[in-house]
């Protein structure tokens, strides 16, 4: 188990094991931020950003290694007819990593609020900006610093176009960060994991008994949505590594670029389905 948590080369062997990597590193990040910065009057105000930073630094070797072997696989196999299948393990590994992030963060937000401290500040503000754009200040006042209070219901944006627009925005950032920084898209995804964990905390009303239902509510549309982000991140990561290894006129780069464009098309299609689920199906079930 320890080797799996510390060795990036195990990342694609069994994708579901990345769930434990994400859970372990998200919890470890919260503990590190608390132990190192909770008593510092300056750094404690930025705990939420430091939390994301630690999550990114700890998981970056896993994500970079996955991108690297996928780019190599693209060239060596040269298989176009089974495009998504050839990257299936990578997408599953990254998706399980994200689910682990969400699980670990939301569990800590609900069960150990004293350790969380200011680590929820920025995700909570972003949550209010997304769900209460016209009542932003009231949302912050209602939830901030009230981890143990009972909450009333909250507003969900149920318009598919609005949901899809926001998701496309995140998708583009994943692509750009992956191209420019290799595994840099993990920052965008860790940030989104913290926002979803905050939403789970609110939906569960800070009750561990309601945690399974709250977690399930967001995973129904969250899993395909995050899978789409990872497909885009994988596409950008492959392009980024190819730009380093090959000339842009090289046949190998052009083949890899073609593969990446097809991956982006798949990502957008998955994102459309996820937006429809989030807007119309999830509210009916919960």
What is the rounded average pLDDT of the residues 243-249?
76
What is the rounded average pLDDT of the residues 57-64?
80
The pLDDT of residue 100 is: 92
The pLDDT of residue 269 is: 92
Rounded CA-CA distance 147/142 in Å is: 10
**Does 217 have pLDDT greater than 50?**
yes
- CA-nearest of 41, 62, 34 to 120 is 34
**Does 104 have pLDDT greater than 90?**
yes
Q: Phi and psi at residue 135, in whole multiples of 5°?
A: -130, 40
The pLDDT of residue 141 is: 77
Per-residue pLDDT tens digits for 31-56: 999 888 888 888 888 888 899 999 98
Angle at 10 between CA 5 and CA 14, to 5 degrees: 100
Rounded CA-CA distance 123/109 in Å is: 12
CA distance from start to end of the chain = 36
Q: Which has the higher per-residue pLDDT, 249 or 197? A: 197
3-class SS at 183? coil
* Cα torsion through 241, 242, 243, 246, rounded to 10: 130
The pLDDT of residue 37 is: 85
The pLDDT of residue 187 is: 83
**Does 80 have pLDDT greater than 50?**
no
Rounded CA-CA distance 239/230 in Å is: 14
The pLDDT of residue 258 is: 82
Per-residue pLDDT tens digits for 140-198: 777 765 544 444 444 444 456 777 887 888 888 888 888 877 666 788 788 888 988 88
pTM for this prediction: 0.78
Check: CB of residue 12 under 8 Å from CB of residue 230.
no
**Does 252 have pLDDT greater than 80?**
no
Q: Phi and psi at residue 38, in whole multiples of 5°?
A: -65, -30
Confidence of residue 79 (pLDDT cuts 50, 70, 90): very low
Rounded CA-CA distance 84/186 in Å is: 20
**Does 247 have pLDDT greater than 50?**
yes
- CA-nearest of 201, 116, 119, 108 to 154 is 201
The pLDDT of residue 77 is: 52
The pLDDT of residue 137 is: 78
Q: Which has the higher per-residue pLDDT, 211 or 139? A: 211
**Does 282 have pLDDT greater than 90?**
no
């Amino acid at each position: 188990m320890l080797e799996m948590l510390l060795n990036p080369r195990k990342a694609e062997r069994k994708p579901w094991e990345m769930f434990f990597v994400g859970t372990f590193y998200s919890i470890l990040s919260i503990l590190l931020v608390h132990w190192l910065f909770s008593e510092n009057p300056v750094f404690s105000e930025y705990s939420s950003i430091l939390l994301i930073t630690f999550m990114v630094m700890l998981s970056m070797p896993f994500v970079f290694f996955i991108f690297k072997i996928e780019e190599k696989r693209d060239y060596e196999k040269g298989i176009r007819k089974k495009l998504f299948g050839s990257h299936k393990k990578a997408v599953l590994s990254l998706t399980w990593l994200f689910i682990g992030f969400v699980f670990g963060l939301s569990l800590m937000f609900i069960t150990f609020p004293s350790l969380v401290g200011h680590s929820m500040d920025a995700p909570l503000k972003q949550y209010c900006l997304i769900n209460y754009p016209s009542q932003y200040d009231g949302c912050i006042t209602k939830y901030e610093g009230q981890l143990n209070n009972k909450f009333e219901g909250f507003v969900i944006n149920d318009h598919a176009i609005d949901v899809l627009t926001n998701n496309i925005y995140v998708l583009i950032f994943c692509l750009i960060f992956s191209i420019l920084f290799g595994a840099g898209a993990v920052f965008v995804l860790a940030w989104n994991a913290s926002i979803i964990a905050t939403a789970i905390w609110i939906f569960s009303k800070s009750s561990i008994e309601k945690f399974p239902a709250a977690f399930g509510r967001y995973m129904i549309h969250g899993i395909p949505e995050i899978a789409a982000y990872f497909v885009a991140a994988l596409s950008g990561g492959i392009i980024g590594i190819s730009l380093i290894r090959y000339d842009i006129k090289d046949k190998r780069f052009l083949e890899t670029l073609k593969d990446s464009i097809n991956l982006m098309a798949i990502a957008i299609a998955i994102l459309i389905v996820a937006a429809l689920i989030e807007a119309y199906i999830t509210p009916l079930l919960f």
